[in-house]
Amino acid sequence: MSESGPPKKRFPLTLDFVTGIAGRKKAATPHRLNSTQTATQNAAKAAGQTSTQSGVRSPAGARGSQPVGTVTASGTAPSVARPAASRMQPVSAMATDRHANVPLVSDAVRKAMVQRLAEQGVRDPMVLAAMEAVPRHLFLEPGLASQAYIDASLPIGYHQTISQPYIVARMIEILREGTSGKLKKVLEIGTGCGYQAAVLAQVADEVYSIERIRPLHEQARNNLRPLRIPNLRLHYGDGMLGLPQAGPFDGIILAAAGLEIPQALMEQLAVGGRMIAPIGNNEQVLKLVVRTGRNEWLADTLERCHFVPLRPGTFG
């Protein structure tokens, strides 16, 4: 490695300094998010669906799936836990008290969500398996749990949202591109309710996740506790500073959009590591940054997206 020579580029780099990723083929038809959307609109829309005569609608593309919360995977009576295929525990065993009165969401509905993700272009089998393993409804308040498997961001309080399943799967797929086994060490900025962190923990040996809003950090802890995920560590703090004591990271994923990637995160990316981040204000795009040398980073602009803002400091 020629990492000891003079820096090839001035450091720290802003994205303007970072060149396109050489040789990386752009998809002929870049993925586009369905639309930018607000979580509250999504929640209201989905709530409207629950009040239609036919009850909660199955997710789009979920052919043959049963309505959420009314029929179990076997299509008979409500809710018996079936052994999960993965190492995650069955849904009912993980349900926390606050979900005790929520009609249990069947495995079939989650499978239908995964099927839809595949139809939307997510290919990585490890990512699809992870999306199937993590019960998204447990990360929502009981009133929204029946909407957990629609492809939408939903409110989690404090003006923040749980990301839509497609973008969670897509970003993790991009992070994993070129990796045959699991990622080693991953950092997430923006724990929120903890859902994406739980998915990441299925595809990486070690996951660290930082949240700046203390009550959300605690909510994530509570959501994750019953899942007993040993390779996931939550931190309360300003993720723009990263987590130098745990780095460098093979993968860094930002769940909130800044105008540029914080320089501390560029530094904490391992050489050869990949970082995926939404960038922008009203118009946002996903940026992929690959660290190719001690002083060299390459960047690529991918699809459009819509995230809550990345903010400095802590709250609460």
- Residue 293 vs 309, nearer CB to ligand SAH: 309
Per DSSP, 231 falls in state T
- Residue 71 vs 286, nearer CB to ligand SAH: 286
Does residue 286 touch ligand SAH according to CB under 6 A? Answer: no
State the Cα torsion 298-302-305-311 to the nearest 10°. Answer: 0
Does residue 212 touch ligand SAH according to CB under 6 A? Answer: yes
Among 190, 242, 273, 278, binds ligand SAH (CB under 6 A): 190
Segment interacting with ligand SAH (CB under 6 A) among 8-16, 18-26, 52-60, 184-192? 184-192
Among 56, 108, 162, 302, binds ligand SAH (CB under 6 A): 162
Does residue 195 touch ligand SAH according to CB under 6 A? Answer: yes
Q: Which residues pair with 251 in a beta bridge?
A: 186, 274
> How many binding residues for ligand SAH (CB under 6 A)?
25
Give least dist CB 121 to ligand SAH, A: 20
Ramachandran quadrant class, 301 (left: phi over 0; alpha: psi -120 to 50; beta: rest): beta
- CA angle in degrees (0–180, nearest 5) for 65-67-72: 80
Segment interacting with ligand SAH (CB under 6 A) among 51-59, 77-85, 187-195, 264-272? 187-195
Long-range contacts of 258-263 (CB under 8 A, 24+ apart): 258/309, 258/310, 260/14, 260/15, 261/15, 261/287, 261/289, 262/310, 263/12, 263/13
Catalytic residue among 2, 163, 180, 209: 163
Q: What phi, psi does 183 have (nearest 5°)?
A: -70, 155
Does residue 163 touch ligand SAH according to CB under 6 A? Answer: yes
Does residue 265 touch ligand SAH according to CB under 6 A? Answer: no
Asked if 154 and 301 count as a contact pair (C-beta separation under 8 A), the reply is no
Scan for tokens 């690529």, then name that residue: 300
Among 196, 202, 219, 284, binds ligand SAH (CB under 6 A): 196
Q: For this structure, is 79 an active site residue? A: no
| Cβ contacts of 184 within 8 Å, gap of 6 or more | 204, 205, 206, 250
Does residue 310 touch ligand SAH according to CB under 6 A? Answer: yes
- Residue 3 vs 315, nearer CB to ligand SAH: 315
Does residue 127 touch ligand SAH according to CB under 6 A? Answer: no
Give the CA distances from residue 46 to residues 86, 98, 142, 157, in Å, rounded to whole numbers and listed in that order.
29, 21, 14, 17
Amino acid at 115: Q
Residues of span 233-262 touching ligand SAH by CB under 6 A: 238-240, 255-256
Segment interacting with ligand SAH (CB under 6 A) among 80-88, 120-128, 188-196, 292-300? 188-196
- CA proximity to 266, closest of 235, 288, 281: 288
Active site residues: 163
Residues found near ligand SAH in the complex (CB under 6 A) = 160-163, 189-193, 195-196, 210-213, 216, 238-240, 255-256, 308, 310-312
